[in-house]
A and B are shown apart, each in its own frame.
Chain A
């Protein structure tokens, strides 16, 4: 089969599999299971291709064949995850929807990491000074300037080095959290907890500095 075009429309995505109880065969044996696994993989590949091509603008240097290879890898990894976690499926959604999310996760993480593969991730805390350029413009009043200074001071003094690193990288430097997690040897959930705690500390600092309304 020819790889999808670099600028595909929905015709590049195979038709959605029918809604049936086929997934029950994933826990069967022999040929029935093999057929169900093949069906699952087709479904996951469909979702992975959808995601990769949806995000293709973040990978302008990548050929259509490489994009499709990325989708194949994502589908393969998603199939492993789905088969390992079949017992987690409780029927609270359609099985197809449940399986799709694994492929979308794998594909989106691969796209983000590929897009940042050759980019340096700056982890120097001093970079939060760039906040000065993200704040109010020259016509804004003294209250805005004071709030901005309170936030800067909070980043400087209220956060742990790890919290400052994660907050600055993800919010001010725009580093995707999966990319940062990979560089730091961590994972998305752990880093998001660090980010969540950093934000809470920063809100507390800003509120104590006289801007409680800015944190609501």
Chain B
């Protein structure tokens, strides 16, 4: 049984051993990261540790989703 096969609650309890940013570092990089994502650039390679943080932190993940959604809305309006 690997971590990927775990019940979602167990996955959230155990987290990942991948290196990750903390919340403040995530916030500092979030605008750059989302713009890279929307340009199709390799955001995870250029901002290492941010994706792992989003997996472990629901609050930062919500703000990432919102910023991405807002920029996508801007691009069509």
Contacts and interface: CB of A to CB of B under 8 A. Distances in A.
Interface of A: 10, 13, 15-16, 47, 50-51, 54-55, 88, 92-94, 96-98, 100-101, 104-105, 108-109, 112, 131, 134-136, 143-144, 147-148, 151, 155, 167, 171-172, 176-178, 188-189, 192-193, 195-196, 199-200, 202-203, 206, 211, 213-216
Interface in B2-57: 2-3, 6-7, 9-10, 12-15, 17, 20, 22-24, 27-28, 30-32, 34-35, 56-57
A158 to B, nearest CB: 12
Given A105-B63, A136-B7, A171-B13, A97 B23 contact: no
A172 B30 CA distance: 27
Task: Give the 3 A-B residue pairs with the shortest CB-CB distance, closest first.
Answer: A199-B15, A134-B9, A93-B31
B24 A176 contact: no
25 contacts: A16-B73, A50-B70, A50-B73, A93-B32, A100-B70, A101-B27, A104-B63, A104-B70, A108-B63, A109-B59, A131-B13, A135-B9, A167-B13, A171-B9, A171-B13, A177-B58, A177-B59, A189-B24, A200-B17, A213-B2, A214-B1, A214-B14, A215-B14, A215-B17, A216-B3
Identify whether the interface residues of B are mostly helix, strand, loop, or mixed: helix
